[in-house]
Structure 1
Amino acid sequence: MRSLLSYPETGADIASPGIAGPIDAEHQWRSPRAHHAQPHRQHDNVLVSRWTRNITTPVEVVNHGNESDHCIGLALKCVSLTFNHAGRRLTQGRLTAGVVQVTAPAVPVSAVFESSVDVLHLFASQQVLAECYEDLFQHPHAGDIVLGDPKLVRDPTLDRLGQALAVSQTSDAALGKVFTESVSLAIVSRIVARQFTVSNAQNREGAALPQWRMNRVVEYIDAHLSETIGLADIAASAGLTRMHFAAQFRRATGLRPHEYLLRRRIEHAQHLLLSSKHNVVDVALSCGFRSQAHFTTVFKRFVGETPCCWRMKANAAR
């Protein structure tokens, strides 16, 4: 296992496509270059960076905590990892795209990534949090705002905002900056709103799918992507009935099981399109789609382009 404690990680940086400037490509995990280049930066905006790595062997990373900002991590794709927060293990296993984790200032975190990773990090100052709170509730917050709950959050709205931030494309640098600032503020505002309004509602809801059952589900789906998988099959892998499983799965991931299955198939298809010479039909069949037409439709819905166009652009970028 390779330890990356204080020196830049090797490997190509992959910046957010089409946005020049507003989104940094991180050399070190959770340590955007803008923090070092602008030590006295303005604190009335959200700093956004992106850490992307193609991982073939486990990679260990450590961050000792940002001195003044909350760090919001938003996974843009499914990832297998072990994540430790303040010296305690927070999660181990495979996480779905769209999962969000918030770390308060000066809190050390570490992780071991066992699969390729693409994550956005948003750094929000106390000034930004206070402005979001006052805008939401129409009065100032008494004292500092501390988003102290480090548990993983699965929120479809945050997922959509993060994906929009990541895939936005514009040739206008000024427009890119405005878009990035607007969406990043929306993400922070959503998290502040959840902090102060969602806890009571969550207590009234039923339980979410436990992580150990989720790990079983992920393992089953990944092992049978090329086959026809039904809800009963996935529920059985978790040891639950279909009705109980579907409700708990959605609470845990923010997604219906079918939607999650499609996402995993498209992610696997992207991997095959880049790592093999298979034609589109073969890739479609290997990922459980019964026709190229259906595969192309679903692929375009999730990725925004047809498989052929995406493959050509991705290969050209490499």
Structure 2
Amino acid sequence: MSINLHAAHGSIDFPIRSRDHEMSRATEAIARESQWRQVVRSPQADIADITISRWEEARSTSSHQATTPEDCYFVAIALKSTRAKLTRDRQVVFDGTMPEGTLYVTAPSKPLAVQFQSPCAFLHFHISADHFPAQLAAAEGLNDLVLLRDPLAAELAKALIERGDAADHQFTFCIGQTLAMHLTRLELPRARVNALPKWRLRRVEQYIADHFDRCISLSELANVAGLSRMHFAAQFRAATGYRPREYLLKYRIEHAKTLLATTGRPLAEIALAVGFSTQAHFSTVFKRISGQSPARWRLASKNQRFEVEALPRRRPSADGDWITSAAA
């Protein structure tokens, strides 16, 4: 089931050179996974019944499979947007875009296979079934649950990432408890909405890319997809995690960022160029999506570029590989 809510290295390998090294890895509050959903559970995590790890995959496509242990739920939070297909026994659980903040859950003893169709990064939680009501486990209400752009999940992930190596087991345990409470209090959907088929989605995405600088109605996009307004809106949201209007606004803001970073055009001119009728509306939407006003974002972008340009370059080596070294 899926709910839409408001809101590098291929396989990271950690060679174990000694038992001491393995033990130090096992005592990390947030461990790095050497394989998808595979992590050494620390003694502290066993006591707390909560294990948190991080998975990153830089390849454009990758496939993995795992089975959730019989005594816990598996919960994943996307740290950046990715495209993924989740399947179990040849049945599709989810197929579409998982925006940053997407959360998905697998019940105890359940196998799951995934195909990532773009680079990805996730926080993974193994939370003891004791943290969930028995009746919920019996009904499998949380199995195959996908929450697109869940605001609380995004904030919890942000809190963990910001702590980084400073995160301790008590802190991660509190985060895991909060996540479990959040899941048990959700109003679960009665019916599943299928995601918009990829070929329809591509048509809509291309139409938005070609006409984002003018007003686009829901009926217009539904006609492009060949569906009624109601069915299109629900399926588009299931596929992207965004309402059509939200997706259009985000697309406009991303294009505006390019103009802000690469040109000196006035804000009012940029606002009109990306489809906003006034600079005030543009600034309001930009700050809501980006967390900064357009002027502050432009200044930060310039400062960051100047800092990169000011970095000292290495002296060229005899083999001429200094450019590669500096870029790395």
TM-score by length of 2: 0.61
Instruction: Say yes or no: does 1:211 pair with 2:195.
Output: yes
Residues 107-143 of structure 1, C-alpha deviations (whole Å, 9 max, x = no match): 33332222232333221112322xxx3xxxxxxx379
Paired residue for 2:262? Answer: 278
Q: Distance in 1 between matches of 2:31 and 2:130?
A: 21
Closer/same/farther in 2, CA of residues 243 and 43 from structure 1, 3 Å limit: same
Instruction: Say yes or no: does 1:261 pair with 2:255.
Output: no
Q: Is the 8 A contact 1:102 1:147 kept in 2?
A: no
Q: Is the 8 A contact 1:94 1:215 kept in 2?
A: no
Paired residue for 1:128? Answer: 131
Residues 125-169 of structure 1, C-alpha deviations (whole Å, 9 max, x = no match): 12322xxx3xxxxxxx3796674654343366xx11121123337
- What displacement does 1:180 show? 4.7
Closer/same/farther in 2, CA of residues 38 and 314 from structure 1, 3 Å limit: farther
Paired residue for 2:183? Answer: 191
Paired residue for 1:81? Answer: 84
Instruction: Say yes or no: does 1:237 pair with 2:224.
Output: yes
The one of 25, 35, 49 aligned to 1:28: 35
- What displacement does 1:297 show? 4.2
Paired residue for 1:307? Answer: 297
- What displacement does 1:220 show? 1.5
Paired residue for 2:146? Answer: 153
Q: Secondary structure at the match of 2:289?
A: helix
Closer/same/farther in 2, CA of residues 126 and 282 from structure 1, 3 Å limit: farther
Closer/same/farther in 2, CA of residues 69 and 288 from structure 1, 3 Å limit: farther
Q: Is the 8 A contact 2:68 2:110 kept in 1?
A: yes
Closer/same/farther in 2, CA of residues 64 and 256 from structure 1, 3 Å limit: closer
Q: Distance in 2 between matches of 1:124 and 1:79?
A: 24
What's the RMSD between the two structures over aligned residues?
4.7
Q: Secondary structure at the match of 1:119?
A: strand
Residues 226-254 of structure 1, C-alpha deviations (whole Å, 9 max, x = no match): 44333222222332333554466568877
Instruction: In structure 2, give the amino acid aligned to 1:73.
Output: A
Q: Distance in 2 between matches of 1:181 and 1:40?
A: 9
The one of 55, 62, 65 aligned to 2:64: 62
Q: Is the 8 A contact 1:87 1:109 kept in 2?
A: no
Q: Is the 8 A contact 1:217 1:237 kept in 2?
A: no
Instruction: In structure 2, give the amino acid aligned to 1:187.
Output: L
Closer/same/farther in 2, CA of residues 254 and 8 from structure 1, 3 Å limit: closer
Q: Is the 8 A contact 1:52 1:118 kept in 2?
A: yes
Number of equivalenced pairs? 275
Q: Is the 8 A contact 1:221 1:261 kept in 2?
A: no
The one of 156, 162, 165 aligned to 1:165: 156
Q: Is the 8 A contact 2:45 2:51 kept in 1?
A: no
Closer/same/farther in 2, CA of residues 53 and 299 from structure 1, 3 Å limit: farther
Q: Is the 8 A contact 2:102 2:154 kept in 1?
A: no
Paired residue for 2:42? Answer: 38
Q: Distance in 2 between matches of 1:39 and 1:175?
A: 16
TM-score by length of 1: 0.63
Q: Distance in 1 between matches of 2:61 and 2:98?
A: 16
Q: Distance in 2 between matches of 1:281 and 1:109?
A: 49
Instruction: In structure 1, give the amino acid aligned to 2:158.
Output: V
Q: Secondary structure at the match of 2:247?
A: helix
Q: Is the 8 A contact 1:213 1:238 kept in 2?
A: no
Structure 1 residue runs of 5 or longer lacking an equivalent are 11-20, 134-140
Structure 2 residue runs of 5 or longer lacking an equivalent are 1-9, 15-27, 309-327
Instruction: Say yes or no: does 1:51 pair with 2:55.
Output: yes
Residues 5-30 of structure 1, C-alpha deviations (whole Å, 9 max, x = no match): xx6369xxxxxxxxxx6544544322
- What displacement does 1:71 show? 1.0
Deviates more, 1:228-237 or 1:179-188: 179-188
Q: Is the 8 A contact 2:195 2:235 kept in 1?
A: no
Q: Distance in 1 between matches of 2:246 and 2:207?
A: 17
Closer/same/farther in 2, CA of residues 109 and 160 from structure 1, 3 Å limit: same
Higher-Rg structure is 2
Identity %: 27
- What displacement does 1:307 show? 3.2
